[in-house]
């Protein structure tokens, strides 16, 4: 059972790391695109509209990832336990 808990913890940590890497990458990508295309916008109103749209995308995507991570934390034993069970069965069939 200790081995199962360690495996669940490792999978959970890895998934959290990947999710946070995605969020950070998304923020960098949107900020980069905003700077790279700033001069392409025809006027200040268009820039403002594009910035507001970018902020909305960032905030909503970040909130969605945070909600997903919260759900993973609440149900991690169940979700990762099933994953590990199927991974072990698949590994057993190959051997």
Residue 95 counted as domain residue: no
Residue 43 counted as domain residue: yes
Domain hosting residue 19, numbered range: 2-88
Residue 94 counted as domain residue: no
What's the pLDDT score for residue 42? 93
State the burial class of residue 76 (Cβ atoms within 10 Å of its Cβ: 0-12, 13-18, 19+): middle
What's the pLDDT score for residue 2? 64
Could you say which residues of the chain have pLDDT below 70? 1-2
Residue 93 counted as domain residue: no
DSSP string of 4-49, one letter each residue: HHHHHHHHHHHHHHHHHHHHHHHHHHHHHHHHHTGGGSSSHHHHHH
Total of domains in the chain: 1
pLDDT single digits (tens) 65-90: 999 999 988 888 888 899 899 988 99
What's the pLDDT score for residue 38? 92
Residue 50 counted as domain residue: yes
| Cα separation, 10 vs 2, whole angstroms | 12
| Cα separation, 31 vs 53, whole angstroms | 12
């Amino acid at each position: 059972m200790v081995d199962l808990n360690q495996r669940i913890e490792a999978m959970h940590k890895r998934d959290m790391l990947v999710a946070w890497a995605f969020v950070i990458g998304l923020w960098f990508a949107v900020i980069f695109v905003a700077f790279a295309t700033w001069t392409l916008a025809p006027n200040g109103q268009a820039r403002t509209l594009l910035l507001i749209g970018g902020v909305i995308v960032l905030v909503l995507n970040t909130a969605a990832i945070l909600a997903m991570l919260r759900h993973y934390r609440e149900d991690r034993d169940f979700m990762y336990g099933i994953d590990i069970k199927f991974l072990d069965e698949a590994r057993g069939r190959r051997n």
